[in-house]
Amino acid sequence: MAPRIEQLSFLIVDDYADMRGVLRNMLQSFGVTDIDSVANGREAIAHIESKRYDVILCDYNLGDGRDGQQILEEVRARKLIGVSSIFVMITAENTLLMVMGAVEYEPDSYLTKPFTKDLLAQRLERLLSKKSDLREIEQAIDGRDYERANELLDQRIAENPRNLNEFIKLKAELALKAGAYDQAEAIYSGVLAQREIAWARMGIGKAYYGNRRYAEAAQVFQGLIDGNERFMVAYDWLARTQQALDEPEAAQKVLEAATAHSAKAVVRQRALGELALRNRDEKVAERAFSQAIRLGRHSIYKHPSIYANLARVKAVTSSGDAAMMVLRDLKKAYKGDKEASLYAAMTEAVIQEDMDHGERARKCMVEAHELYKELGTQAAPELALDMARTCNRMGETGRASELLHQAVKNNHSDELFLKEVGATMGDLGLAEDPHAMIAGITKEIVRLNNRGVELAKLGKLDQAMLLFEEAVNGMPGNKVVNLNAARIFMLHMNETGIEPELIAKVRDYLERVRQMDAEDRTLHKMQRMLNQLLQK
């Protein structure tokens, strides 16, 4: 049973005091008593951090500071509200969602101003019953327990409910998330056989992409854009696909077209900047990075690398001094942040070197090495590439090569990233045949992993443990190796009982993976395994 509206707690976010009053009156007329209201994003986040709200009614347009979408992104990404909370975005103009439309996080519903209190009540009732209908499934998905979610979905689909398509859509999305691309493709094809519908067409494109059928995927995304030139998500996926097809120039053109339609997405501007930078199109890169910084000031998608890249571009398009100004902004925006300091140090080293300030450049480099070491496994993979480029420019070719080798070892299963490592090796002239070299390293790691798993299967857990412990020490930043090591250690304790020392190691491995990719599905499986083990 869905809860009744009057039992719920509400947060109203609107910069107009009058509008806040109107909304409060409406809610009170439904019998709601637990109502807080705030005027801007900063207050909204502070309230949501300290209290769990059932429903957030948030105006999109909030003047300066965060807009409604940025509040939504922040509270969902930081998991400040649970899956059962309802986020309603209030907009003045209903074409807005098409204009934005590229977003990872969508509100549960949009309401267009002005609306009557009858409509608000009707909408809230509908959202509540939908939430309670999907509660178990959403909770399973949120906990990355995809098997359970799938079971629940199959049960519901077998009942042939009136909103059958809703469940089918969820099931297909789940298949995509779980990497079951053939299954996803089959589901979407079934829907499309009934009728052409954009979400299913989009889904089939993603399934092709997942199965590395890039040419077909590109065709699907292009078709969607031809059918609706404001379908922003299709642009992002088309650009991503073209990158996978080694067509960075075409990808840049696509993102330029997308940003011309809808300039607001920070992530898209950043992606465009990075592509343009790779394509040596500094003019486009400069504009895109500047936009990304301006738009991203209050967004969870702001990132120090955007500043660093803008500084690099400015050093080319205007001057070293202009670049240094950007780095000052970077330090101001991220006081005390190690990753940001590293970006600043690396970038400054090169800029100073280019301005023939050798001594200052070397000082920056020393700082960069120090920070990189301190970050350890917390350093994002891309940092290794930047660091390698920087070392190479400073004449430390040995270190550059070492960094790239380690990057391969730490990310042996991430194909797109390996592609970038290869490109960097090629650019820097550090390997004659980067692809062959990368393939050699990854093959070795796969063999090692397989041998460990094989040993475990044969019951030789002691040997498997030794092997993975060594592997983890050699590749502390490798997700797969960390997860395998954690698993083997837990299998061992399943048989012989809890050993505090080993538990601490398992926790360590899982924490590393969490820092690298909190969304990793195997990570959640291992965490459940650890909980079960500790409950024994």
- Residues near other proteins (CB under 8 A) are 16, 18-19, 22, 25-26, 29, 61, 92-95, 97-98, 112-119, 121-123, 126, 162-163, 165, 195-199, 227-231
CB of 90 to other proteins, least distance (A): 10
At 263, the amino acid letter reads A
CB of 165 to other proteins, least distance (A): 5
Collect all residues with Cβ–Cβ distance below 8 Å to 345 and sequence separation of at least 6. Answer: 364, 365, 367, 368, 371
Among 382, 293, 295, residue whose Cα is nearest residue 346: 382
121 or 491: whose CB is closer to other proteins?
121
CB of 234 to other proteins, least distance (A): 12
163 or 189: whose CB is closer to other proteins?
163
231 or 468: whose CB is closer to other proteins?
231
Whether 322 and 347 have beta carbons less than 8 Å apart is answered as no
262 or 494: whose CB is closer to other proteins?
262
CB of 186 to other proteins, least distance (A): 19
Q: How far is CA 368 from CA 93, 339, 385, 471, 519, in A?
A: 48, 10, 13, 27, 29
218's tokens? 């590109």
28 or 450: whose CB is closer to other proteins?
28
Q: How far is CA 121 from CA 80, 91, 255, 494, in A?
A: 25, 17, 40, 52
- Chain-centre distance of CA 434, in angstroms? 28
For 380, counting Cβ atoms within 10 Å of its Cβ (0-12 exposed, 13-18 middle, 19+ buried), the class is middle
CB of 285 to other proteins, least distance (A): 24
CB of 311 to other proteins, least distance (A): 30
Q: Tell me phi and psi for residue 361, to 5 degrees.
A: -60, -45
115 or 458: whose CB is closer to other proteins?
115
Alpha helices in 112-162 (DSSP H): 117-142, 146-158
Whether 422 and 434 have beta carbons less than 8 Å apart is answered as yes
6 or 196: whose CB is closer to other proteins?
196
CB of 126 to other proteins, least distance (A): 6
Q: Cα(96)–Cα(83) distance, rounded to whole angstroms? A: 24
246's tokens? 């080694």
For 466, counting Cβ atoms within 10 Å of its Cβ (0-12 exposed, 13-18 middle, 19+ buried), the class is middle
Among 224, 230, 297, residue whose Cα is nearest residue 262: 230
CB of 228 to other proteins, least distance (A): 4
Q: What is the DSSP letter of 11?
A: E
Q: CA torsion, points 529, 533, 535, 536, in degrees to nearest 10?
A: 140
3 or 227: whose CB is closer to other proteins?
227
CB of 116 to other proteins, least distance (A): 6
69 or 341: whose CB is closer to other proteins?
69
CB of 115 to other proteins, least distance (A): 7
CB of 30 to other proteins, least distance (A): 13
94 or 155: whose CB is closer to other proteins?
94
482's tokens? 């960390």
CB of 328 to other proteins, least distance (A): 30
Among 72, 61, 52, residue whose Cα is nearest residue 10: 52
77 or 164: whose CB is closer to other proteins?
164
Q: Cα(331)–Cα(204) distance, rounded to whole angstroms? A: 43
Among 226, 301, 313, residue whose Cα is nearest residue 275: 313
At 511, the amino acid letter reads E
CB of 92 to other proteins, least distance (A): 4
17 or 46: whose CB is closer to other proteins?
17
Q: Cα(131)–Cα(138) distance, rounded to whole angstroms? A: 9
Q: What is the DSSP letter of 301?
A: T
41 or 101: whose CB is closer to other proteins?
101
Collect all residues with Cβ–Cβ distance below 8 Å to 434 and sequence separation of at least 6. Answer: 421, 422, 423, 425, 426
